[in-house]
Structure 1
Amino acid sequence: MGYQVSGSGFSWRVTDAAGVQHGQYYRNNADAFEFAKRLEQADKVHTRSCLCCTVDFKSEGAHNRMCSKCRQLSGGMM
């Protein structure tokens, strides 16, 4: 889902594609853009099964296929 930042001066907001506002009004565009970025990241989080131990974990994307425990045990080699 794409998020848009709009506003001017000391009043900025974040809306989704349907025009629904998310969060509060922000006093500057940098804070609004940071919030939009966090929303985009949250949309990417999915539950996946670890390739090593098959336990379900929250993955941040297709590149993240091992749970943190297995990643630690592998020493970051995978």
Structure 2
Amino acid sequence: MSYSIVTTRHGWSVENAARERVSPVFATRGAAIEWAAKRIERTAPQDRSCLACQRPFRSAGIHDRLCPHCEHHQDDGLGDVQRPTIRSRA
């Protein structure tokens, strides 16, 4: 995703490709550039540990925190051992 640093009446801000403001207003241009750089780094694909199994995998971005194996085999998080058994009174 591309960002632009733009001036506002009160300082500097960051806009996305659709020209929507995506940052707070900064007093200096340098602060706006630093914010944009951190956002690009944070959302860029990178190696992360799966939140479920801790195996490293190539994440598409900050929103992608489960490896393909765990994402495919999602359950309620209780596991088979802790899953309660419900029996009817017949």
TM-score bracket, shorter-length normalisation: 0.5 to 0.7
Query: Structure 1 stretches of 5 or more lacking a match?
Result: 60-78
Determine if contact 1:13/1:25 at 8 Å carries over to the other structure.
yes
User: Which structure has greater strand proportion?
Assistant: 1
The structural deviation recorded for 1:7 is: 0.9
What is the CA–CA distance in structure 2 between the aligned matches of 1:21 and 1:11, rounded to whole Å? Answer: 13
Cα distance in 1 for residues equivalent to 2:37 and 2:29: 12
TM-score for the superposition, normalised by structure 2 = 0.49
Larger relative CO (CA 8 A, sep 6+): 1 or 2? 1
**Equivalent position of 1:11 in the other structure:** 11
Q: CA deviation at 1:43?
A: 2.1
Please give the alpha-carbon distance, in whole angstroms, between the structure 2 residues aligned to 1:46 and 1:15. 23
Q: CA RMSD in A?
A: 3.4
Q: Structure 1 pair 58/27, CA: closer, same or farther in 2 (3 Å)?
A: farther
DSSP-derived class of the 2:33 partner: helix
Relative to structure 1, the CA distance from residue 48 to residue 38 in structure 2 (aligned partners, 3 Å threshold; closer, same or farther) is closer
Show the counterpart of 2:24. 24
Cα distance change on mapping 1:20 and 1:9 into 2, 3 Å? closer
Q: Matched residue of 2:22: which SS?
A: strand
**Structure 2 residue runs without a partner (length 5+):** 60-90
- Hey, what's the Cα distance between the residues in 2 that align with 1:20 and 1:36? 14
Distance apart, 1:56 and its partner CA: 3.8
